[in-house]
Structure 1
Amino acid sequence: MNVKLRLFLVVFFFAINGVFGQETLKVAVAGLNHDHVHLLFNLYKQKKVEILGIAEPNEKLIKRMKDRYNLPDNLFYKSLPELLKQVKPMAVLAYNSTAEHINVAEICMPLKIPVMVEKPLAINMQQAKRINQLAKENGTLFLTNYETTWYKSNQYVKSLVKKNEIGPITKMMVKDGHEGPKEIGCSDDFLNWLTDPVKNGGGALMDFGCYGANLMTWLKDGKKPIAVTAITKNRKPEIYPKVDDDATITLEYEDGAIGIIQASWCWPYSVKDLQVFGKKDQLHAVNGKTLLKYQSPTDSKQIPLTNPYYEDQLEYLTDVLAKKIQPDHDLSSLSNNIIVVEILEAAKKSAKEGKRIVL
């Protein structure tokens, strides 16, 4: 066998081993009353994840999911402790109310089982600090998933900021929201806690304000703002009588940068965009696939998104668990998301008291 052929076979072997040798992510699921769980089940149908069990007490919700996704009876358990006595997942994915994330942490962290919850991390700083304490004491990961983490446009914005392509950041603007969770057809099980001030910690401020706080903390390399000011509105009290449905949050940073978060259940359309202004240029991530660079209002160009990044949270989580990457200060990290909760808590206090809150 000649040297070139031998080298080719060695390279081919390692390439094949890398593609096919990686173990499928095996997870347990805590709760089903967060509509983002449908994204997980679609990945399950594509055999991109193996679900070992699901903890959910609501029989009607279980039946609906079983019928829709053809799930076997033996996947379901009444509680998370009961489930974790029977299976040994690589991680637990939580699709329950934000207020219940602390319960998942109390159960999983002592068992050294990594957890990923849907955004935001917690409803208040008391819960966020306890989750952080449990994660540190047990040396176990507790991550938070955001849809916008997997936007290649946002990842490219970060890389350009890091390269100083637009100069120092002077202002960040993040707009997130839609016509309203009821208006877009969210399930009753989801709405029951999403519009509850105790189970969700608020309304649109919590639901969509967290995206901007998450992205801005990341763009500022983990630095938290020095002050937070917020205004909330209840524009549709007949639909959302208990919580805010529109919020504007302003963040002030020590270096003079300003962050403006616009979170709403009252937009005439669904939107998740990010604008970053530097001293030289402006970047606008219009959506997950489109990034524009402006040098003036009439001088813009679309930037090709050639940067490789994870398609979804499962690809990312697989590499984190395999220790291929460290989530120290990224968008899913605990350090970032504790600051997110601190910002949201200050925003709620500011809106209630009508004053600027110094952190």
Structure 2
Amino acid sequence: MLTRLTLLLLLITQFAVAQTAPKPLRVGIAGLTHAHVNTILGRLKKGDLVLVGIAETNLDLAGRLAKQYGFDMALVYPTIDEMLTKGKPEAVLDFGAIADHVKTVRVCAPRGVHVMVEKPLATTYADAVQMAALARKHKTQLLTNYETTWYGSNHRAYAVAHTDKAIGDIRKIVVHDGHEGPKEIGCNPEFLAWLTDPVANGAGALFDFGCYGANLSTWLMQGQRPTSVRAVTQQIKPDLYPNVDDEATVLLTYPKAQAVIQASWNWPFGRKDMEVYGQTGYVNTIDGNRMRVRLKADKAERPMEAPQTEAPASDPFTYLARLLRGETKPDALTSLENNLIVVEILDAARQSAKTGKAVILK
């Protein structure tokens, strides 16, 4: 049986913990059509975030997700503006069409609301520049989420190249991303409707998966813009994807390096891996944890593993909450600076694929 003194000490401890624990971050959701919205809806019970509103006009979709995840349909509003007024979120997570990201920032930034979008940042460089100007003017965060940001292997690869300087100066980067195709893997129809639309998504596999390689290459090249961009796209499955490319290869040139981005809806299975070659060795990632490394003194490559904890957080939403509470430093992969270059690369790649000519970046 607890003594009165023990009980009093326990109550004091619980009160102190409650006083020091940060309040849950108030978040709103703009759009539910992106299948990645399941990642946020599936973790609401964790407690570090509280959902205060959803902007979605498709009430059938909202109803299905409400039934699946247990949120109240009273949280669903027809516009972002109404959701901001009534829900008062600190940050908005955009899970709509890529072309609509700019609309979200136009509404949120002037009201001091931070925004995290799913990759890529925008469908055109002009939109990306406008979004950046709004975020900077109103001093709000504008972040872009990629699954690969939270891979421990990518951060270990960066450390091998830059912190340890174990492979010498980078000479070539090759990034592979994609899967069998959005229809083949069973993406929901609301997602497919804009994912396969050249205006709403910007392109097909070129934007859907080319953005990963542009993001990682820009990071590994420590924020350098490439001097030129050349791209080739194909429609290998025009019967399934008549309006967008399903295969894309992008070549980025730098003064002393190249990056090759291979984005595809035609891989035999899903993949997100990369190869980084330096003057004296290489480091290749296999998945989120496994890697292969060979240095100049090695007779053969050797396996390496990196725990997920080498990434800045376990997931984008944990990172967002910590960042806005001042508990972690900004991460380069999600940053506005990196992702402005990403969209510049994608915009140039789309132009190059159309004209058959390299685009020189001024």
For normalisation by structure 1, the TM-score amounts to 0.92
- 1:110 is aligned with what amino acid? P
Q: What's the CA shift for 1:316?
A: 1.0
Segment drifting more, 42-51 vs 143-152? 42-51
Tell me if 1:180 matches 2:181.
yes
Structure 2 match to 1:6: none
- 1:92 is aligned with what amino acid? V
Q: What's the CA shift for 1:25?
A: 2.3
- 1:320 is aligned with what amino acid? L
Show the 5 A alignment for 1:57-76. Answer: 57-76=57-76
- Is the Cα–Cα contact under 8 Å of residues 25 and 314 in structure 1 kept in the other structure? no
Give the Cα–Cα distance (whole angstroms) in 2 for the partners of residues 293 and 43 of structure 1: 35
- SS of residue paired to 1:303: strand
Give the Cα–Cα distance (whole angstroms) in 1 for the partners of residues 227 and 181 of structure 2: 31
Change (3 A) 1:48 1:322: closer
Structure 2 match to 1:31: 31
Q: 1:318 aligns with which of 300, 303, 321?
A: 321
Q: What's the CA shift for 1:291?
A: 1.6
Change (3 A) 1:213 1:18: farther
Give the Cα–Cα distance (whole angstroms) in 1 for the partners of residues 146 and 310 of structure 2: 18
Q: What's the CA shift for 1:18?
A: 10
Q: What's the CA shift for 1:247?
A: 0.1
- Is the Cα–Cα contact under 8 Å of residues 48 and 321 in structure 2 kept in the other structure? no
Structure 2 match to 1:5: none
Structure 2 match to 1:214: 215
Q: What's the CA shift for 1:150?
A: 0.1
- 1:67 is aligned with what amino acid? K
- Is the Cα–Cα contact under 8 Å of residues 182 and 191 in structure 1 kept in the other structure? yes
Give the Cα–Cα distance (whole angstroms) in 1 for the partners of residues 215 and 19 of structure 2: 32
Give the Cα–Cα distance (whole angstroms) in 2 for the partners of residues 253 and 324 of structure 1: 35
Q: What's the CA shift for 1:320?
A: 1.3
Structure 2 match to 1:342: 344
The percentage of counterpart residues that share the same residue type is 43
Q: What's the CA shift for 1:324?
A: 3.1
- 2:220 is aligned with what amino acid? L
Give the Cα–Cα distance (whole angstroms) in 2 for the partners of residues 330 and 253 of structure 1: 19
Give the Cα–Cα distance (whole angstroms) in 2 for the partners of residues 179 and 152 of structure 1: 25
Structure 2 match to 1:4: none
Query: How many residue pairs get matched?
Result: 345
Structure 2 match to 1:51: 51
Show the 5 A alignment for 1:143-158. Answer: 143-158=143-158
Structure 1 match to 2:96: 96
Structure 1 match to 2:357: 355
Deviations for 1:285-330, whole angstroms, at most 9, x for unmatched residues?
A: 1110112112489712222325533110012111210223342x60
- SS of residue paired to 1:299: coil
- SS of residue paired to 2:340: helix
Give the Cα–Cα distance (whole angstroms) in 1 for the partners of residues 17 and 222 of structure 2: 36
Segment drifting more, 179-188 vs 40-49? 40-49
For normalisation by structure 2, the TM-score amounts to 0.91
Tell me if 1:239 matches 2:240.
yes
Give the Cα–Cα distance (whole angstroms) in 1 for the partners of residues 97 and 18 of structure 2: 37
- SS of residue paired to 2:44: helix
- 2:190 is aligned with what amino acid? D
- SS of residue paired to 2:252: strand
- Is the Cα–Cα contact under 8 Å of residues 63 and 73 in structure 2 kept in the other structure? no
Give the Cα–Cα distance (whole angstroms) in 2 for the partners of residues 334 and 214 of structure 1: 11
- SS of residue paired to 1:323: coil
Q: CA RMSD in A?
A: 2.0
- Is the Cα–Cα contact under 8 Å of residues 222 and 336 in structure 1 kept in the other structure? yes
Give the Cα–Cα distance (whole angstroms) in 1 for the partners of residues 151 and 285 of structure 2: 9
- Is the Cα–Cα contact under 8 Å of residues 25 and 50 in structure 1 kept in the other structure? yes
- SS of residue paired to 1:340: helix
- SS of residue paired to 1:338: helix
Consecutive unaligned residues of structure 1, counting only runs of 5 or more, are 1-8
Give the Cα–Cα distance (whole angstroms) in 1 for the partners of residues 299 and 68 of structure 2: 49
Structure 1 match to 2:4: none
Change (3 A) 1:298 1:100: farther
- 2:183 is aligned with what amino acid? K
Q: What's the CA shift for 1:17?
A: 4.8
Give the Cα–Cα distance (whole angstroms) in 2 for the partners of residues 304 and 272 of structure 1: 16
Q: What's the CA shift for 1:195?
A: 0.2
- 1:316 is aligned with what amino acid? Y
